[in-house]
Amino acid sequence: MEVKPTYEFYIPSLYDDTALACRIYTLPENYFGGSTGDDTTGKKPWTPLGAVVAHPWARIGGSFDDPTVRHILAELLRLGFTVGTFNLRGAGKSKGKSTWSGKAELQDYISFVGFFVYYLSNLHPPISESEDDFYSLAPALSGVPAARPQAHLILAGYSFGALLTRHLPNIPAVLGRFAKVLKSSTEAEIRMRATSLAAVTTIDQLCRKFNGARNSRRVLKGKAPDRGDHRAAVSEQTLKDWLEEKKQYLLLLQKPFVRKEKRNSWANEDDDAGPDDDDFVARVDIPTPKSHYLLVSLILEPVSLVCTGLRKLVDADEDRLDYKFLYSTTLVVHGGKDRLTSLKKIAYWGSEIKDNSDGRFKMLQIANAGHFWRDKEDYLDLRWCIHQWVLGWLNNDGETESNLGSGSDRRSLQSWAII
């Protein structure tokens, strides 16, 4: 089945406001980012599930349409995750040009992660077709959920995208960029676009629950809802209002960001001058997601230094660079025939992290896979490994136990091995 994006839109990059093409993928029956429980019954708390996948280097044709990226996102989507992808500068419909340093691309990645976390945090829990749910949600399309559950967030990357994921600051540091921001800032624009898309998602869910997709299409064509459909539970005018609001949000998400004033324009004034409290967006406290990392065909030195000087620009201390992997469940998947980074080098790099991670850090080798993953059987192995890894920590609510290595029918585990 062809996996198609649910939403396509643009956000500005924190680096220089370059427009980045982005996509959100959701399953029709699971618009709200996945769940490990039923929020309407009280049996288990609803948990948003989200994942971001970064693509290979744009200078060698990388984009969010890369086949390996699409296999990764398809498997995560099948597991119930809402998945976000984005084109780095110079890739696909994103503006700008790719760089040799990687500094701008890292800021592109941070921009989308910030957007995605705010998007997940502004989603309302799944709704039923009950009248109480309708009246509690309908007036709050542009609002904020009363309760913000902690989400599970997978930060994934393939090839150059894995290199960027390795250099990505931890989630608290990323969210710190968006905590107290000027209304005219890029950070504020990204936050606003995230809440707007969350409102669109809520409208879509309301329309599906209370009128059905068919009635929504009828109203868009200027026809009256089919009252014979039991889901036509709201008035035609209410449905029109929802769809008009959705249309305005989607138009906003397609517009380029135009800065109204220069960055930190107040900073060059007198020493006592500066932004007033009214110049800032209201601070919103959101739960820090429980982060997990997925690195596929990670590039290590010296190849990474040929592609980019990223390590020199970000952090010269490699121990600090990989510190986040000690406390977050992490899976590194590598091809046994990868010629860009050898298995020996990957194993040496990950050995100390693995020894100190209390079982959170896993490394797997797909024996016959190369760096570019072109064989169908290798893709199936990759997806199977991701599937087992996710179920391992998700079923244990993030604990260190994993299903990797347990019984399975995927080629009897003959084509891969734990490093």
Per-residue pLDDT of the chain (419 residues; tens, 9 = 90+): 577 899 999 999 999 999 999 999 987 655 555 554 544 444 566 788 999 999 998 888 888 999 999 999 999 999 989 999 999 999 989 999 988 888 999 999 999 999 999 999 988 776 654 444 444 454 445 455 556 778 999 999 999 999 999 999 999 999 999 998 998 899 999 999 999 999 888 888 777 766 555 555 554 444 555 544 444 455 566 667 767 778 888 888 888 887 766 555 444 444 455 677 778 888 888 889 999 999 999 998 765 554 555 555 444 455 577 889 999 999 999 999 998 888 888 999 999 899 999 999 999 999 889 998 888 899 999 999 999 999 999 887 644 344 454 444 454 334 444 45
Q: How far is CA 278 from the centre of its chain?
A: 31
How many other β-carbons are positioned within 10 Å of the β-carbon of residue 196?
21
> What distance in Å separates the CA atoms of residue 406 and residue 328, rounded to the nearest whole number?
21
Q: What is the dihedral of CA 230, 78, 200, 87, to 10 degrees?
A: -160
Residues 6 or more apart whose Cβ sits within 8 Å of residue 214: 226, 229
The pLDDT, as a whole number, for residue 147 is 65
> What distance in Å separates the CA atoms of residue 110 and residue 177, rounded to the nearest whole number?
9
The pLDDT, as a whole number, for residue 75 is 93
Sheet with 49-54, strands from edge to edge, namely: 7-12, 19-25, 82-86, 49-54, 152-158, 290-296, 330-335, 361-366, 416-418
CB 34 within 8 A of CB 207: no
Label residue 212 left, alpha or beta by phi (over 0 means left) and psi (-120 to 50 means alpha): left
**Position of tokens 């009246």?**
135
> What distance in Å separates the CA atoms of residue 397 and residue 410, rounded to the nearest whole number?
24
